[in-house]
């Protein structure tokens, strides 16, 4: 693959140079690095141009060290590179600086990624060095490797290990106490208001999850899936549990084989004339699913136990799941269920609450699709497939590394944006609405003997007409109200709901 730097004076460095030099068939990293001609660091689109003093030695070792030092660890690129090399070449690299920190990191990564053992004796001196630079990427728990004297702090295992870069956005979010904001909102609520708000948000989230998939199921199915979301985090995650949940997602099992796929899969459409698959995303090969799913679940257990940031963990696991696409159907809703599960089981979501993640995603559907496409689109050209007689796809090349090693930064930033909106807007608005609702009902009941269902009807009419009862309502359902009562009710509603009424989001 030929990579063109942003200016003629720039020279490729690190991963961009290695991908070009060794013609690696891999998706490009989100950030590419080169050496510019100016003596200041510049950024342009996806490029970072470092200064001439950062220029590495023009060798395999020089560019590998540059990549690890300034760009972090991109496992899918390193795996492709190591597959293109022979063990003797890597041994020669290590022997350039056998006790050097970067040589030992390269040595560890080669053996970890390929499963091959180099003909080198164990390191017996020197301090342990961290594999992941936690100034560049979010690290996992430390596991000491005596052979290279390396602290393996990768956030995962060989079978599933996405990484997330430390962007300014994510770091600013980490420094704010969103969980404390949530607890304050919840703590200020009357228990009855809290319970009603949670019920509304649960139903709204279930409905939104179906809407994202373009479905309009009957209300009982929405309510049933809402009950499932409400139990998120109560059962340990396993393939068997996910298969059970898939059974609850699907209303009709006659045309779907439940459990892990036994055929290929893709997301997209078909040509109207030929029926040819038109993929936007190609799922992992069925023979790779057991290994990928066990790797994903083991990574979740590891990071959950060690206190990895819950929202980042939810992004890694939920998006990793939907990229693998392990089931024939139901993957999208289970992907969003996993967000609920992780946030609940890690204690990020207060007990008794449901974060309406799907409802917020539906509002941000364009950004959501962009987050999905940021992963899928760059990988399509590296998947070789042919159409099957039933207009499915069958993948013929090795693609496992696409699904277990990827940069989850874009997906993590999207999920954080959804969580921030939930905490700072959605939850307070729902609590405030219910408090205003109770005040309005009490106000009406103090003046007029009106059944609850009639008060709710009155409120709906006011919502639909910007705080004023329509002529139809005054001539029919509420013809018995006196003019002064109408004025009082409309005035009270407008005072309480002057902002909420514009949104028209609630139904009682």
CA distance linking residue 472 with residue 485, whole number of Å: 17
Q: Tokens 């409120």 — which residue? A: 459
Whole-number pLDDT of residue 287:
97
> Token pair for residue 387?
């159409």
CA distance 65 to 103: 8
Q: What is the reported pLDDT for 26?
A: 96
At 213, list the tokens: 């998939």
Closest residue by Cα to residue 60 from 108, 15, 27, 30: 15
Q: CA 204 to CA 451: how far, in whole Å?
A: 26
Nearest alpha carbon to residue 162 among 417, 420, 350, 415: 415
Instruction: Give the number of residues written for the chain.
Output: 508
Q: 259 vs 244, 245, 296, 366, CA distance in Å?
A: 9, 10, 16, 30
How many domains does the chain contain in total?
Answer: 3
Across 192-209, average pLDDT? 70
502 has pLDDT over 70: no
| Structural domain includes residue 109 | no
Q: Is the pLDDT of residue 71 over 80?
A: yes
Question: Quick one: 417 and 460 in the same domain?
Answer: no
CA 465 to CA 481: how far, in whole Å? 17
What tens digit of pLDDT does each residue of 80-104 get? 999 999 888 999 999 999 899 999 9
The per-residue pLDDT of the chain, averaged, comes to 88
- For residue 174, the tally of other CB atoms under 10 A from its CB is 15
Q: Are residues 297 and 367 in the same domain?
A: yes
pLDDT over 90 for what percent of the chain?
A: 57
H-assigned helices in 306-381: 310-324, 331-345, 357-363, 365-380
Average pLDDT over residues 353-367: 84
CA distance 59 to 210: 52
- Residue 222: other Cβ atoms inside 10 A: 20
Residue ranges with strand state E in 125-271: 129-130, 143-145, 150-152, 266-270
Rounded CA-CA distance 198/203 in Å is 9
pLDDT of residue 508 exceeding 80, the answer is no
* Final residue of a structural domain among 77, 96, 114: 77
Residue after which a domain boundary falls, among 391, 425, 459: 425
- The pLDDT score that the predictor gives to residue 193 is 66
Q: From residue 106, how far is each of 121, 150, 164, 305 by CA, in Å?
A: 15, 10, 20, 28
CB atoms within 10 A of CB 503: 11
What pLDDT score does 500 carry?
44
Residues 284 and 400 sit within 8 Å (Cβ to Cβ): yes
**Measured torsion, CA atoms of residues 268, 272, 273, 279, in degrees rounded to the nearest 10:** -10
Question: Looking at the structure, do residues 461 and 419 belong to the same domain, yes or no?
Answer: no
What pLDDT is attached to residue 152? 98
Do 246 and 354 touch, CB atoms closer than 8 A?
no
Rg (CA), the chain: 28
> Is 474 contained in some domain?
yes
Rounded-to-integer distance, Cα 207 and Cα 483, Å? 39
Average pLDDT over residues 25-35: 95
- Residue 86's Cβ-count burial label (10 Å; 0-12, 13-18, 19+) is exposed
pLDDT at 187: 66
Q: What stretches of 36-153 adopt beta strand conformation (E)?
A: 42-44, 47-50, 129-130, 143-145, 150-152
Choose the weakest-confidence range: 28-32, 126-130, 168-172, 227-231: 227-231
Question: Would you say residue 72 has pLDDT above 90?
Answer: yes
Q: Is residue 86 part of a domain?
A: no
What pLDDT is attached to residue 506?
A: 47
202 and 323 co-located in one domain: yes
Residue with tokens 């006196």: 482
Q: Give the model's pLDDT for residue 292.
A: 98
The confidence band for 128, taking pLDDT boundaries of 50, 70 and 90, is: very high
Q: Is residue 66 part of a domain?
A: yes
Same domain (yes/no): 218, 363: yes
* Domain's final residue, options 425, 460, 477: 425
pLDDT of 190 > 80? The answer is no
Q: Which strand (E) or helix (H) includes residue 209?
A: helix 191-212
Beta strands in 199-282 (DSSP E): 266-270, 277-282
* Mean pLDDT computed over 330-358: 85
pLDDT tens column, 203-228 = 777 777 778 877 776 777 777 777 78
Q: How confident is the model at residue 507 (pLDDT cuts 50, 70, 90)?
A: very low
Same-domain status, 418 and 499: no
Residues 202 and 331 in one domain: yes
Is residue 410 domain-shared with residue 472, that is, in the same domain? Answer: no
- Calpha distance 232→341 (Å, rounded): 5
The mean-pLDDT minimum among 83-87, 352-356, 466-470 falls in 352-356
Mean pLDDT of the region 291-297: 98
CA–CA dist 111, 365 (Å, integer): 41
Which pLDDT score, from 0 to 100, does residue 504 have? 42
Give pLDDT, residue 256. Answer: 81
In a domain, 188, yes or no: yes
**Residue 142 forms part of a structural domain:** no
Range of the domain at 467: 448-503
Q: pLDDT band for position 47 (50/70/90)? A: very high
Residue showing tokens 């893709």: 266
pLDDT computed for residue 352 by the predictor: 64
Q: Which of 272-276, 400-404, 489-493, 504-508 has the lowest mean pLDDT?
A: 504-508
Of the candidates 127, 65, 129, which has an alpha carbon nearest to the alpha carbon of residue 94?
Answer: 65
Residue 138 has pLDDT above 90, yes or no: yes
| Beta strands at 47-50 and 129-130: parallel, antiparallel or unpaired | unpaired
Partners of 35 in beta bridges: 11, 50
Check whether residue 243 and residue 314 sit in a common domain.
yes
pLDDT tier at 14, thresholds 50, 70, 90: very high
Above 90 in pLDDT, residue 248?
A: no
CATH number of the domain to which 224 belongs: 1.10.3290.10
Mean pLDDT computed over 415-444: 85
- pLDDT of the residue at 194: 61
* Residue 139 located in a structural domain: no
> Domain for residue 204, yes or no?
yes
Q: Identify whether residues 224 and 352 lie together within a single domain.
A: yes
Task: Check whether residue 374 and residue 487 sit in a common domain.
Answer: no
Residue 145 β-bridge partners: 150
Distance (Å, whole) CA 84 – CA 102:
20
pLDDT at 70 over 50: yes
Question: Do residue 329 and residue 456 come from a single domain?
Answer: no
């Amino acid at each position: 693959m030929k990579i063109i730097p942003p200016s003629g004076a720039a020279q490729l460095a690190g991963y961009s140079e290695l991908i070009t030099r060794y013609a690696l068939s891999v998706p490009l990293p989100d950030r590419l690095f080169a050496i510019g001609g100016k003596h200041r660091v510049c950024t342009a689109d996806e490029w970072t141009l470092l200064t001439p003093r950062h220029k590495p030695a023009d060798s395999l070792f020089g560019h590998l060290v540059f990549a690890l030092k300034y760009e972090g660890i991109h496992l899918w690129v390193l795996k492709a590179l190591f597959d293109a090399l022979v063990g003797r070449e890597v041994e020669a690299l290590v022997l350039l600086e056998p006790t050097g920190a970067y040589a030992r990191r390269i040595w560890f990564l080669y053996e970890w990624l390929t499963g091959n053992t180099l003909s080198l004796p164990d390191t017996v001196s020197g301090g342990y060095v961290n594999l992941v630079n936690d100034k560049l990427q979010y690290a996992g728990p430390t596991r000491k490797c005596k052979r290279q004297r390396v602290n393996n702090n990768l956030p995962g295992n060989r079978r599933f290990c996405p990484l997330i870069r430390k962007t300014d956005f994510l770091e600013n979010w980490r420094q704010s106490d969103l969980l404390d904001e949530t607890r304050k909102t919840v703590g200020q609520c009357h228990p009855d208001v809290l319970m009603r708000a949670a019920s509304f948000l649960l139903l709204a989230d279930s409905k939104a999850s179906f809407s994202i998939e373009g479905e309009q199921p009957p209300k009982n199915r929405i309510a049933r899936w809402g009950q499932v979301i409400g139990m998120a985090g109560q059962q340990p995650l396993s393939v068997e549990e996910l298969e059970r949940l898939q059974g609850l997602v699907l209303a009709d099992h006659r045309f779907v084989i439940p459990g892990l796929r036994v055929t290929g899969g893709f997301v997209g459409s078909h040509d109207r004339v030929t029926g040819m698959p038109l993929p936007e995303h190609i799922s992992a090969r069925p023979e790779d699913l057991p290994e990928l799913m066990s790797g994903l679940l083991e990574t979740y257990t590891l990071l959950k136990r060690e206190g990895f940031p819950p929202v980042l963990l939810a992004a890694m696991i939920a998006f990793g799941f939907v990229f693998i696409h392990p089931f024939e159907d139901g993957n999208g809703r289970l992907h969003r269920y996993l967000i609920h599960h992780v946030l609940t089981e890690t204690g990020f979501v207060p007990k008794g609450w449901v974060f309406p993640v799907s409802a917020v995603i539906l509002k941000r559907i364009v950004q959501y699709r962009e987050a999905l496409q940021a992963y899928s689109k760059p990988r399509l050209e590296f998947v070789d497939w042919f159409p099957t007689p039933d207009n499915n796809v069958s993948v013929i090349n090795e693609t496992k590394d696409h699904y277990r090693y990827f940069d989850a930064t874009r997906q993590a930033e999207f999920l954080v944006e959804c969580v921030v909106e939930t905490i700072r807007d959605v939850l307070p608005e729902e609590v405030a609405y219910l408090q205003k609702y109770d005040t309005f009902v009490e106000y009406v009941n103090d003046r007029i003997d009106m059944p609850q269902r009639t008060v709710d009807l009155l409120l709906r009419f006011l919502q639909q007409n910007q705080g004023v009862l329509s002529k139809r309502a005054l001539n029919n359902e509420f013809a018995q109200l006196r003019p002064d009562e109408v004025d009082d009710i409309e005035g009270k509603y407008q005072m309480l709901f002057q902002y909420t009424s514009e949104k028209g989001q609630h139904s009682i």
